[in-house]
Structure formats: C-alpha cells, structure tokens
Structure 1
Amino acid sequence: MTNLRDSLKNNVLIADGAIGTLLKQHDHTHGHGPSIDALNLSQPDQIRDYHLAYLRAGADVIQTNTYGANTLKLARYGLEKDIVAINQAGVRLAKEAIKIHGRGFLLGNIGGINAEYVPVHLRSTSLDDIQKVFREQLYLLLLEGVDGLLLETYYDLEELKTVLKIAREVTDIPIIANVSIHEVGILQNGTRLDIALQELADLGADVVGVNCQLGPYHMIKALEGVPILTNASLAVYPNASLPTVEDGEIIYQTEPSYFKKYAERFRLQGAHLIGGCCGTTPAHIANLRKGLESTTPVDTKVVIPLPDEVVFTKPKKFRGKRLVDKVLTETTVLVELDPPRTLNTETFFKGVQALYNQGTDAVTISDNSLASPRISNLALAALIKERYNHSPLIHITTRDHNLVGLHAHVMGLHKLGIHDLLAITGDPTKVGDFPGASSVFDLRSVELVQLIKRYNDGLSYSGKSLGEKANFNVAAAFNPNIKKLQQAYKIIQRKIDYGADYFITQPVYDVETVHQLADMLNEHNITTPFFIGVMPLLSSRNAEFLHNEVPGIRLSDEVRDRMKQADLDNRSLEVGLEISKEIIDAILERFNGIYIITPFQRYEVSLELLHYAKKTAPILK
C-alpha cells in the first residue's frame, strides 16, 4: 500500500476503535475527570500504547486522540489555551505508535460540535463560530502532518457539509466524512442516509459513512439502502452494541467475537473502511480483521431502497375554533384544574362539567404541579373527551419524562385528539412530596416545543417518519414576575423561534405588571397571543406561602397587606376575589387571554371569576 487515497480506493482497510473506552475501562480518566484529549499531555505513554494496541490488533488506519480538541469543547474544562499542545501531541503520539509498529496510516480526527440536528435559527453555537474553531483545529493537524482527515459523529448534516467544504478548500489529502444517525436509514433532520452520503461525496469527501450510536446489526440495515457510490467509498464505524448503564456507568456488553460475524457483511455492503466506535477495543478490531474473507472491495450490491417519499395520513380537521385563533379576536378564558392527589375524582369531574357549562374555552390539566404526584393528566384528558366531548389543554413537563416517555406521551395525545399542549420545565422536585426524587430534564422546555412541532411535519425527534401528521398548537410558559421585565422580550422571542404558538403566564397580582407586559410586547412588535395568569387568594397564609415558597410567584406588599387585613376582618375569600377581578379588569384592557388557576380544587371560586370575565369582556376587541 503506497498512499492512503489509493489504498482506500483499491482495498478494504481496517480502522481502529475507541480510545475513550479503553481509558475509562482502566480508569485513566479518573471518573469524570479531564478532557480525554488532554490526556495526550498528561498520559502520553498510555495514549501511545493504545494506538499501538490497535495497530497490533490488525488496524491499517488509526486516528489521533483529538476528537474534542477544539476551543469550544476544551473550554468546558478550562483547557482552551492548551489547544495547540493537545493537537500536536495527538499527532505525535499516533505517529510514534505507527513508527514502532512499522506500518499504518494516520487520520486527524475532528468531531462534530452539535450533538443533534439544530435548525439554523435555533443554534446556540452559530455556524460562523463552528467554522472558526474548525479552521483552528484543522490547521493544527495539517501542520503536524496527517495522512487524511476523519470528520466523525456529525448528527447535523449542515454542520458537516460546512466544515467539509472548508477542509476540501485547504487540503487535497483524503477526507472521511461520517454522519451519525438515531434511526436506520435516516438522519435527524429527516434526510435519507443515501442522499446525505451522496451530498457529502459531491462536496469532495473521498470516503463517506456512518459512525456511532448504532451497533453492527443496525449499521448493516442502514448500509443496505446505500448504493455503491461512483465518486466516493463507504465507511462504517459501529458501536460495540446498544449501551446499558451499570452503577451509573455506560457499558457496552457485546462480545468482541460478535464483530467477526459482521466484517465480511460490511465488505459486501460496499464498505472500504471498517472500524469501531464507542465500546470497541483492540479485541473487536482483531475480530474484524479475522472476519474479512477478502480485502478486495465489491463494486456491485443489491440495494434495498428506502421509499422516495413518505406518504402521511393527513391530520383530522379540527372541529370548532382553535384557542390560538379564538384569542386573536375575542376574550378567551382557560381554567386550570389540578388532577387529584388521590383516586377520588368526583370533585374533579364535577368541576370540569361546571366549568364547561359556564362557558370556559378550555380546561387545562397540570402535570404533577409543585412536583407532587397526582393522577395522570393523560388519563384524565381521555376521560374528559369521552364524557364531555371537550378537548382539554394538557401540561407536559420535562422534569418527569425522559425523551422516550415524552415521545410516547405526545403520540398518545395525538391519537386521543388532544391538540393543545403547554410545554414546561416543571417545578423542582425539592419542593414536592418526594424531595429526593430525580428530575429528568432530557430536554429544555423550548426543545420540547420544537419536538412537538416536528410531529406536525410527521417526524419524530430522531427524524423517523411517524406515518401521520399531527395538528398540535403548543403554548410556552412565561413568568412576568421578574425584575427586568422590559428585557424579557428576548426570552419570549426565543420561544417563538422554537415554535411556541401562544404563551401562558404565571399568576399576576399587580395591575402595573399587566400593563408593563403589554407595553413591552407592543414595543417589540410581538403579536403572539398571551393568556395572563390569575389565581385567587384564599387567605393571608395562602398569600405568604405563594410569595415565599412557590417558584416564580411574587406578590406586592400592598396585596399581602390587604390579605392580612382581610383575615382580621374575616373577609379573606371576598378580598381575594376582589384582587383577582382587579387583575382581570386590567387584562381585559390590554389582552384577550385570561388563564384562571383553580386553588385547591375550589372550582366554585374559578366559576365566579370565569363568569366575571365573560360578563365584563367587551363584545369586540
């Protein structure tokens, strides 16, 4: 083998596996310690030995230990100033291993920045910033001298295409460009794998392929839909297996001998470069070498094509007027009811029926408010649909549901015909009945909004077709009880950018706050509808608890003093309703949306405020 480009074109080469896996297995990372890339400086002998182990196991190609050695990732550990030394050492150590072994090619490894596909307008790291740090690391690796470049673990196709163009413009050495996928045959943005790989080949990548996330079985399934390309070769770097967790550590349990069964199958799918990703060791690579029956690439294969176009079932037409449309032209009142803490639902359903009879535009059902366990709002929503033929608005927290659970929850709501959702983070578990309970937070609330809106395109979070388009309108939460309300428009605009159709606020207890919020929205030309929260006070004790112990709620001194005096005069509920009606009056001057929050399932209190709001509201606005 004379040079890497010719070798990749004319042979099937075996690549190395994971460096990070070996370091963690032998505790060289000291738990969650420093950047793995920084170990090039602190543990050079170990890094060199691992490179050598892969070469001796049969690898023709190894990669530098520089996957995360860019300014952005190193900054997480305070190591950005060491970027030059880390990358230089990464190349030097790999070269030393190749020299000791006597043969082998070296790829300079540059990993993806975005861990997932992110639309351009939602990126926390801009493409301009990504290009800047990529150029910096690219030049460092090129100056040290590598045989080729490995761009790997890119979930975001646009990011990979952007950096590939840069690399191709400045160097003519071979480039391997690997995407990562959650679902077989499709990227997270919905692009088919075969189309994505052809796009990368057309941009000048010598080798295109897939790495990480999936094990050998699913990698084979992914490659079955990819034809032999005329202008690039194929690469495949599977994980050792699907991961599991033991004692808080991610474990890959596949026996290395399992890889032997797949080496030849990868070759027959057209792969010219076969290696390993997370969980793989020199033993896995040795078995890939043993499993190859030939090192001659194939030039034909049977392709199992993916459908050219997914045909979606259209969403059912919504009967009546949607909340987000109604609130634009007329006063619209939502009323929140907490699900019961016990299995006794009699009072809850009496309240639901009374509120709809009184003319509420929707009952909303919280999701374990104040982090206290209650009956599933999904179950209650289904019963409301069945009994009263009304569609409630459902809250979903990221606190209680992991990504798998969120998908299942939202799919279930779609099939129930419940199309209005409020995406929220949720109160911290420390305020609830089980303060030691874990919070999930796989997603931020804005990312949950984005996930739900992807259902309207018929796509899951991972880019997989759902076979049916949903018809969700998604509300986002907003807390107007903050000191710098005039600067909060950035928070609101960001949630709109993520797909929020309307907003529901925390309860307000100050008329001036209502007017300040309206002025701020007008100043910044924000026309997205708002439902302003109103929660009646029942006593001075209730007021003090809300003010001092409930996150996101603040009461003015005037309101707290009024409730203290009301307790003395035995007029607590009366004064609490007076305060709420004053807030409703202010809301009706500036907004069409009112959000009444029922205290302690006292739905008769919400009924009075609902009646007042409907009676007081102007006929036209």
Structure 2
Amino acid sequence: MRISLELVPRDPVGLKTELELVRRQFPAINTINIPDLTRFDLRSWEATRLSKAFYNDSIPHIRSMDFDAGDPFSLIHYLNEHQISEILVVTGDAPKESGKPVYPTTCIDLIHKLKREHPHLKIYAALDPYRHSVRKEYEYVQQKLDAGVDGFFTQPFFDLRLMTLYSEMLEGADVFWGVAPVVTESSKRYWESRNHVVFPKDFQPTLEWNIEFSKQALAYTEQTKGNIYFMPIKVDLQAYFNGVFSKVFV
C-alpha cells in the first residue's frame, strides 16, 4: 500500500525541511506528490528532484497547457536524468502572469502523446467527483483510460459513501484516494465555492472529525488494496498524522 503526502514546493529550503520532518516522524508515508504552482519559482519536477533524496517514490504534477502537443516533450531528458518515472498529468489553471505561454493541449492530448512516445513513464490523471455528474466523470475517466493512463489521483473525498461508489466504478485501476482535513468554517466555504464539494450531513470542521474520517478512508483503502494521499493544508501536521496513524498502524 502506498501512502502519499502532497507537499507544496514554495522554496527549496522549506521543502527540504518538510521532507526531513515527514521522513523522521511519519514512517508510514512512503510517497510524495508535488503540485506545479506557477506562482512559485520552484517547479514540480525540480522539487521532485529534491524530494527523491528523501523518497524514491516522488511524483510531480505536470500541467498539459504548458506543452505544445506538436513539439517533443521538453521535460523528458530532465525526468530521465533524475530517474523520475511517475508523473501526474493535469490540465492546469492559466497562469496569472500573462507573459507565460500556454497551449490548447488537454490532459488527454498529453497523456496520449507521452504514452506513445515515452511508454516507460507511469502516468496518472486526475479524478474529480465534484466536477461533473457521476456519469460525466465516469465518461471522462474512460477517455483518459483510452489515452493510456495508468492510474488516478482523486480530488479529496469527505464522504466514504461517495468514495465507495467511485471505488466500485474504478475497480482494478491504480488509484490514490485523496483526503484533505478541513478544520475551519472559512476553509469549508472555500471547498464548497471553489471545488463544489457537498459535505456530508455529519461533517464538522474540527481536527477530531477529520482525523476520524481520514482513519476510515485509510482503513477502507487498505481493505480494497488501493493507495491514499493526504493534502494537509493549514493544519498541524503533528497533531493530524499522530491521530490518523496511531489509530490505524498499531
């Protein structure tokens, strides 16, 4: 079972500090995934090179809109040189800096291109249970599978019933199920307005509720032989992971 932590690459020093802390205090975590955020100078593949000194299993997010589907994939030599063999392809959001070029390359375009030209790469795609109806998201998943994707990282779940529904839909696929603690009312409103999340009736924006749900999601993932990743934004890592792992790994 793979347990991944998503770390935001704000700068090299801060990233290394977080990696050292996680490796020392939370040995259950064995994989790191790193988003590509254009507001920071450190790009995801550069951060992954640093991460691999701590975790061999490190997965950068790659934004398809940054690459022209008609040109050679410019990152392949960097990825090969640093033994980065797994990537997560997302479409990405348009950068706020107007000078940065973007292309009409969809994640499906880039997945298809990479699997054809660089089949040694293991490629994950995103799954978002709140983006569309279940039927539309299922159709989108099938398009990504047809393009050759090897697995999925989901947006965070907050309801085990919805997670179970998608688990049945994705039976046999290599999936990292997302979990993110939401511990304030303002954070809850953000997830509702930005990501269209529908929280379950019993949801409470407390550390205790989120630890209990994360424990249940981790146990379910282990039971179904899947993988999980945590996106602990604005939460005390020590308190959160001590609660999650002490109740599961005894």
Q: Which amino acid aligns with 2:63?
A: T
Are residue 418 (structure 1) and residue 84 (structure 2) matched? yes
TM-score (norm 1): 0.36
Within a 5 Å distance, the mapping from 1:174-213 to structure 2 comes to: none
> Which of the numbers 478, 483, 489 marks the counterpart of 2:138?
489
Are residue 359 (structure 1) and residue 28 (structure 2) matched? yes
> Which of the numbers 582, 599, 605 marks the counterpart of 2:233?
599
Q: Which residue of 2 aligns with 1:75?
A: none
Counterpart-to-counterpart distance in 2, 1:379 and 1:436: 23
Q: Which residue of 1 aligns with 2:8?
A: 338
Give the conservation status (yes or no) of the 8 Å contact 1:543–1:555.
Answer: no
Are residue 444 (structure 1) and residue 106 (structure 2) matched? yes
> How far has the Cα of 1:334 moved from its partner?
1.3
**Alpha carbons of structure 1 residues 389 and 599: separation in structure 2 relative to 1, 3 Å:** closer
> Which of the numbers 383, 388, 397 marks the counterpart of 2:63?
397
> How far has the Cα of 1:403 moved from its partner?
4.9
Give the conservation status (yes or no) of the 8 Å contact 2:181–2:235.
Answer: no
**Alpha carbons of structure 1 residues 409 and 581: separation in structure 2 relative to 1, 3 Å:** same
Q: Which residue of 1 aligns with 2:209?
A: 575
Give the conservation status (yes or no) of the 8 Å contact 1:476–1:504.
Answer: yes
> How far has the Cα of 1:337 moved from its partner?
0.5
Counterpart-to-counterpart distance in 2, 1:538 and 1:406: 44
Counterpart-to-counterpart distance in 2, 1:578 and 1:406: 46
Q: Which residue of 2 aligns with 1:478?
A: 127
Counterpart-to-counterpart distance in 2, 1:485 and 1:559: 22
Q: Which residue of 2 aligns with 1:511?
A: 160
> How far has the Cα of 1:419 moved from its partner?
0.5
Give the conservation status (yes or no) of the 8 Å contact 2:34–2:59.
Answer: yes
Within a 5 Å distance, the mapping from 1:243-322 to structure 2 comes to: none
Q: Which amino acid aligns with 1:519?
A: E
Q: Which residue of 1 aligns with 2:198?
A: 555
> How far has the Cα of 1:382 moved from its partner?
1.8
SS in structure 2 at match of 1:367: coil
Gapped runs of 5+ residues in structure 1?
1-330, 458-470, 564-571, 617-621
After superposition, the CA RMSD in angstroms is: 3.0
Give the conservation status (yes or no) of the 8 Å contact 1:534–1:584.
Answer: no
> How far has the Cα of 1:381 moved from its partner?
1.8
Q: Which amino acid aligns with 1:407?
A: F
> How far has the Cα of 1:473 moved from its partner?
0.6
> How far has the Cα of 1:420 moved from its partner?
0.7
Give the conservation status (yes or no) of the 8 Å contact 2:212–2:244.
Answer: no
Q: Which residue of 2 aligns with 1:276?
A: none
SS in structure 1 at match of 2:125: strand
Give the conservation status (yes or no) of the 8 Å contact 2:215–2:245.
Answer: no
> Which of the numbers 523, 543, 551 marks the counterpart of 2:188?
543
> How far has the Cα of 1:592 moved from its partner?
1.6
Within a 5 Å distance, the mapping from 1:120-135 to structure 2 comes to: none
Q: Which amino acid aligns with 1:517?
A: Y
Q: Which amino acid aligns with 1:451?
A: K
> How far has the Cα of 1:378 moved from its partner?
2.1
Provide, for residues 520-546 of structure 1, a one-character-per-residue CA deviation record: whole Å limited to 9, x for no partner. Answer: 335xxxx22111110111312111112
**Alpha carbons of structure 1 residues 482 and 376: separation in structure 2 relative to 1, 3 Å:** closer
**Alpha carbons of structure 1 residues 589 and 487: separation in structure 2 relative to 1, 3 Å:** farther
> How far has the Cα of 1:366 moved from its partner?
0.6
> How far has the Cα of 1:610 moved from its partner?
6.4
> How far has the Cα of 1:589 moved from its partner?
4.1
> How far has the Cα of 1:603 moved from its partner?
4.1
**Count of aligned residue pairs for this structure pair:** 248
Counterpart-to-counterpart distance in 1, 2:75 and 2:211: 36
Q: Which amino acid aligns with 2:201?
A: E
SS in structure 2 at match of 1:382: helix
Give the conservation status (yes or no) of the 8 Å contact 1:335–1:363.
Answer: yes
Q: Which amino acid aligns with 1:443?
A: T
Q: Which residue of 1 aligns with 2:115?
A: 453
Provide, for residues 544-595 of structure 1, a one-character-per-residue CA deviation record: whole Å limited to 9, x for no partner. Answer: 112112x4x50315255x22xxxxxxxx323332333333344444452111
Q: Which residue of 2 aligns with 1:128?
A: none
Within a 5 Å distance, the mapping from 1:12-161 to structure 2 comes to: none
**Alpha carbons of structure 1 residues 444 and 540: separation in structure 2 relative to 1, 3 Å:** same
SS in structure 1 at match of 2:73: helix
> Which of the numbers 525, 530, 537 marks the counterpart of 2:175?
530
Q: Which amino acid aligns with 2:138?
A: Y
Q: Which amino acid aligns with 1:541?
A: S
> How far has the Cα of 1:614 moved from its partner?
5.9
Counterpart-to-counterpart distance in 1, 2:198 and 2:226: 23
SS in structure 1 at match of 2:124: strand
Counterpart-to-counterpart distance in 2, 1:606 and 1:374: 29
Counterpart-to-counterpart distance in 2, 1:486 and 1:533: 20
Provide, for residues 318-363 of structure 1, a one-character-per-residue CA deviation record: whole Å limited to 9, x for no partner. Answer: xxxxxxxxxxxxx2211110111xx4x4442232123334132211
SS in structure 2 at match of 1:339: coil
Provide, for residues 128-169 of structure 1, a one-character-per-residue CA deviation record: whole Å limited to 9, x for no partner. Answer: xxxxxxxxxxxxxxxxxxxxxxxxxxxxxxxxxxxxxxxxxx
Give the conservation status (yes or no) of the 8 Å contact 1:410–1:452.
Answer: no
> How far has the Cα of 1:374 moved from its partner?
4.6
Give the conservation status (yes or no) of the 8 Å contact 2:179–2:229.
Answer: yes
Gapped runs of 5+ residues in structure 2?
none
Counterpart-to-counterpart distance in 1, 2:92 and 2:181: 21
SS in structure 2 at match of 1:407: coil
Identity between Structure 1 and Structure 2 (%): 19
> How far has the Cα of 1:418 moved from its partner?
0.7
Give the conservation status (yes or no) of the 8 Å contact 1:335–1:606.
Answer: no
